[in-house]
Structure 1
């Protein structure tokens, strides 16, 4: 049994897909916070805190922006939950395609109108981004890899620290592979946020395309997996 467990402890295509989704969500949060009037469109814990802060300080418009992000995220999750196909792989690809559609709409709108500071176009940009992230949260659950959510990392950080502490106490009696996998995802999130922020700070607003490009990468990975699985079944 121990040998079988060790054989399962390796990185695979799921890590690549989740890494790309994680990169997309980190870039999305940075873009939203810096360019969409300080909202988060994937991290709903932070967005809810901003909502409470705006309400408490009487900043009505800021509260509306956070509400739009919250509603868009919930709508994206609901939409992703409704996706049903003959197998999980097809469901995952359909959800990623839907996410790509909303992020693509976000990018097209941005290329036409830039980043508005108020009004209906700002609301639409926030909604598109949040719906895409809601869909992504469902996609991450479909992949279901060691509790890596791609859109929020507080619980993941808790899991990493707990696993490492348990391993230090119990020695070789506990595997830390999951902690390595989660640490990699956490590092990808931090790197994506830093890179996107640096590009935007330098005035490279085309960094807005980073989330969409990452999702295209995830779709390409899943398409390759589907073709490989199809070839195996044909044999």
Structure 2
């Protein structure tokens, strides 16, 4: 147990000569961001995953089968815009991939621009659009409440369960801005290839704990490191769900921006460093 706790501690506060250095805590923060955005997207954007995006392929099948609560266009739009983000991430890798700190700095900065645009865009829509609002005071408590009020008044469909005839501007705006942001994050994490820190899909991380323990004993399970990243994802999802259900979707975006700024601040002083976690040598 002590060794696992020490491993968790080194993940969050790495040694000076650690092979992955500040990349590990930075990617833990980005994993928390993934939990936040998936809580927002699944609970408020019509049953889609913006970060763990492969789930949308399954959801697309559900929508084709006309399963309740699933419509094809939200899944299709999420997949398409996520791939746009991955394309942008690939160009960032092309120009900045040789320096890990600079790569993560640039990719996170671009990601932050998308999230800031989402926050500004929803704020403007809340002010000038007649659609149900996202966050804010003096308005419906949350999107579900706003949609329920709309149903009672006009018999229109719920914002949380869009249909082919109900395409809300808030949903479109958030998907087309947050999905590319997470596409950039996923491409960055893939390039950095820090073990057990993919920032989104943690199926292999969970499998590794059990399989490695079974094959090599608990000391080889990397439980401390892997537990940190799973807790980060769960904590992000919990925080996002609590904020969303209390009508604070705008606060979710603000917390995301704050986390991204922390990662930027961690990388900025190291772009000229010759540490091996920066150079990859």
User: TM exceeds 0.5?
Assistant: yes
Residue 219 of structure 1 aligns with which residue? 264
- 1:178-230 C-alpha deviation (Å, 9 max, x unpaired): 33212210111001111211122223332232222211111111123336x27
Q: How far did residue 122 of structure 1 move? A: 2.3
Residue 93 of structure 1 aligns with which residue? 105
Q: Does 2:119 align with 1:107? A: yes
Structure 1: runs of 5+ lacking an equivalent: 1-5
Q: Does 2:160 align with 1:160? A: no
Question: Contact 1:92–1:142 at 8 Å: present in 2 too?
Answer: no
Structure 2: runs of 5+ lacking an equivalent: 1-5, 15-21, 126-132, 135-142, 144-158, 160-166, 276-281
TM-score, structure 2 normalization: 0.70
Q: Does 2:75 align with 1:66? A: yes
Bigger-Rg structure (1/2): 2
Residue 30 of structure 1 aligns with which residue? 39
Q: What SS does the corresponding residue of 1:57 show, helix, strand or coil?
A: coil
Partners of 1:98 and 1:89 lie apart in 2 by 14
Residue of structure 1 aligned with 2:63, choices 47, 50, 54? 54
Residue 3 of structure 1 aligns with which residue? none
**Would you tell me which structure has more helix in proportion to its own residues?**
1
Partners of 1:197 and 1:222 lie apart in 2 by 29
Partners of 1:224 and 1:211 lie apart in 2 by 21
Question: Contact 1:133–1:151 at 8 Å: present in 2 too?
Answer: no
Residue of structure 1 aligned with 2:231, choices 173, 182, 187? 187
TM-score, structure 1 normalization: 0.83
Q: Does 2:253 align with 1:208? A: yes
